[in-house]
Structure 1
Amino acid sequence: MLNISAVNKTYLSGDTSLQVLKDVSLELQSGNSLSIQGPSGCGKSTLLHLLGALDNPDSGQIVYTPNQQTTINIHDLSEIQADEYRRKHIGFVFQKFNLIDCLSVYDNILLPSRLNQSEHQDYIALLIDTMQIAPHLKKLPNQLSGGEQQRVAIARALAHQPSMVLADEPTGNLDEDNSHIVSQLLFDTCTELKTTLIIVTHSAQVAQQATVQMKMHNKRLSV
């Protein structure tokens, strides 16, 4: 369960302040998917950063309960606690792929699970098969197409079996055909693994695949 309550965020630039989130509230059941649409600069990515403990809200609460034994007050995490939270519970998928160029596809995928010392070969093999990237494991990322690189990035995000995946415009650099293939794989895999998925997208077609669909408008979330 993810519970966001009255979250506010303002950025300062010199003497100017810019509020990007205002009293944002949301409740999302574990294992569900949420799509967020809205114009550029409206605060969508900022919200993902707060959920991933990459930044802190000015006020409000973000409480995440990945299982019955664990409750995490994301808004209160120290830097060390935030690192542990991200390492154990969060998978990130970005628009620009962010693969490590000097590592093979296979080593890119395994990186999060190795950091967690939780390398499960059968599970990794399933991800590789699901993402249809088995022929590319020994290649470097720059030897792949954009769609192939994003499938590798999704496999990497899921490799350590996170309970929540945060995806920021994951199809933004892809053509229409690849966008459909990649987004379908992302939603289907998260559904099968019962992984909570929160995806920011400009694509109405991608957004419609989510269990819950919301829009960011006037610094707030609405249906």
Structure 2
Amino acid sequence: MVIFWRLFLSHLLADFTLQFNIVNTLKRKYFWGMGIHCLTHFLVSVALTYCYLGDVWFRLGSVEVNGWGALVLMLVVHFLIDELRIYSMKHLGYNDGTVSFLVDQFLHIYLLFLISPVVPLDGGLFMAEKWTGIIAMSVLVTHVTTVTIYFVEKDFFSKQFPSFDEKYFLIFERVVLWSFFFASGWWCLPFAAAWVVQLFYIRRKRIMDLSLTNILLSLTLTSAIGLWTRYIYYGSLFR
């Protein structure tokens, strides 16, 4: 699953880390704006899978499709998926909310799985090359969690996207908690618990205006991603 994981990382980088506000605005207004976003994904994917592009990734009947062909197919389908989402919101009245976001992400990741060569003995679905897995987990715990929480709070509380201070404060809080999962053994649990307590203290003292939903989702998602990271890093949860 080496290629799948590299494509997964390229998706996270292009859809979150490298999708700046201006790119997000342009892709919702213009075809060429969507083209910039999809081409970014394509180029990052090429960079991360370059040494595998000449290999056959999958077959369509008797036709062998190599990495280049697979990535061109990914580019086209990515464009269509995102354009369909924009069209459904603009013309069909679908809400740009949590369900729409999760369905969009599922379709993108499922597409990556379909075009990736599957080698049963190369580490398994939940294990990745350490560097690929850890970078992917870092994007999940920072930008992906930020966007996920935003959509949930938008649906339930009509909240706007978090301000710069709130966004990066919570990213910092999550990264610190996530880093505890790299420690060998479980000696760091009291320190992680203390870090969680101080986050609730900040909310209680209104040092930062954070909803309980925001904090609980941050802690839950960070813990889940942290356990996954630990599994990738050590090959086991119990080290």
Common topology (TM > 0.5): no
Between Structure 1 and Structure 2, which shows a larger proportion of strand residues?
1
Q: More relative contact order in 1 or in 2 (CA 8 Å, sep 6+)?
A: 1
